[in-house]
């Protein structure tokens, strides 16, 4: 990795009062690469993206954008530096029309101040173009976005971030609530965003999805970095093993075997990673 990272965490951490949610985490986001952050519920994934996207501030370590230390106090500041987060639940306002959601917070206007008004025609046209550029065709841009499926909403949010010049795109569990087919659609957009030269941070707890598109993998565990490896340095089996609990799993297996009655054969996780069904997400 010779190019300098767009955004970088160095030994970053975050404490909520006495609770240390994140500690000593290093993460680099490069243009045209997908950095996957994996971890179980409560591992600190959400805290990590909230720091990068400006919702929370780190309490230790450094956060650099283009090599310079920053401390965002609002998501707006992060957006102005080209860092956009797409949240699983936080992306849209359900009762508002699709086009209003697309431009929310960055509305296009026309006319001088006292009568400065929304440029509705241009916003609808642009939203339609951007969505179709990503292969999303909607019946009616005036329908409330809450009537779309989870995958569609996710894609609208991604298209929105790409349109507004995001250089770093943070995706929070984009596939957690989706079916197999819709997950595939979302992962294609992730790949498409990477091809456009964006740095993508993909938060997930599904190692299979991560391995399909990831260039670098970080596994979080109880708020610290358990593993940080480039794609060439790790196999899907290793990744799944780390993700599934690693050494803890071996201990558990041992205990289960000793308890009697349990099958002493290795747990299926280690033998065949593809048989692991990822737990459904509750946001961490």
Residues contributing to the site for another protein (CB under 8 A): 53, 55, 74-76, 79, 85, 87, 90-96, 100, 103-107, 109, 116-118, 120, 128, 131-144, 146-147, 149, 151-152, 155, 181-182, 184-185, 188-189, 192, 195-196
- Residue 128 CB, shortest distance to another protein, in Å, is 6
Closest CB to another protein among residues 26, 130: 130
Closest CB to another protein among residues 63, 189: 189
- Residue 281 CB, shortest distance to another protein, in Å, is 17
Closest CB to another protein among residues 76, 271: 76
Cβ–Cβ contacts within 10 Å for residue 164, how many? 15
- Residue 278 CB, shortest distance to another protein, in Å, is 22
- Residue 183 CB, shortest distance to another protein, in Å, is 12
CA distances to 27, 160, 211, 284 from 218, rounded to whole Å, are: 8, 26, 12, 16
**Cα gap 216→167, rounded to integer Å:** 17
Cβ–Cβ contacts within 10 Å for residue 82, how many? 19
Cβ proximity of 97 and 108 under 8 Å: no
- Residue 200 CB, shortest distance to another protein, in Å, is 15
Annotate 41-90 with three-state secondary structure: CCCCHHHHHHHHHCCCCCCEEEEEECCEECCCCCHHHHHHCCEEEECCCC
Closest CB to another protein among residues 96, 177: 96
Closest CB to another protein among residues 181, 280: 181
> What b/e readout covers 181-220, taking b as 16+ CB neighbours within 10 angstroms?
ebbebbbebbebbbeeebbbbbbbbbbbbbbbbbbbbbbb
- Residue 189 CB, shortest distance to another protein, in Å, is 6
- Residue closest to 178 by CA, chosen among 208, 150, 209: 150
Closest CB to another protein among residues 63, 217: 63
């Amino acid at each position: 990795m010779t190019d300098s990272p767009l955004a970088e965490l160095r030994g970053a951490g975050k404490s909520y009062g006495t609770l240390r949610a994140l500690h000593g985490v290093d993460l680099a986001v490069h243009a045209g690469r997908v950095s996957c952050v994996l971890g179980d519920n409560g591992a600190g994934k959400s805290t990590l993206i909230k720091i990068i996207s400006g919702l929370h501030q780190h309490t230790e370590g450094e956060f650099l954008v283009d090599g310079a230390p920053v401390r965002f106090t609002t998501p707006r500041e992060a957006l102005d530096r080209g860092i956009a987060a797409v949240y699983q639940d936080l992306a849209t306002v359900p009762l508002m029309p699709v086009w209003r959601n697309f431009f929310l917070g960055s509305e296009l206007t026309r006319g001088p101040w006292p009568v400065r008004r929304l440029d509705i025609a241009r916003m609808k046209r642009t939203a339609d173009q951007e969505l179709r550029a990503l292969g999303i065709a909607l019946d009616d841009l005036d329908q409330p976005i809450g009537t779309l499926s989870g995958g569609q909403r996710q894609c609208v949010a991604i298209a929105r971030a790409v349109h507004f010049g995001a250089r770093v795109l943070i995706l929070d569990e984009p596939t957690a609530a989706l079916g197999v087919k819709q997950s595939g659609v979302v992962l294609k957009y992730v790949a498409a965003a990477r091809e456009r030269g964006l740095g993508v941070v993909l938060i997930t707890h599904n190692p299979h999805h991560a391995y399909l598109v990831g260039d670098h993998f970080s596994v979080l565990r109880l708020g610290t970095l358990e593993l940080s490896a480039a794609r060439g340095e790790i196999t899907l089996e290793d990744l799944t093993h780390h993700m599934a609990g690693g050494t803890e799993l071996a201990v558990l297996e041992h205990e289960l075997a000793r308890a009697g009655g349990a099958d002493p054969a290795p747990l299926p996780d280690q033998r065949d990673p593809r048989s692991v069904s990822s737990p459904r997400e509750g946001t961490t």
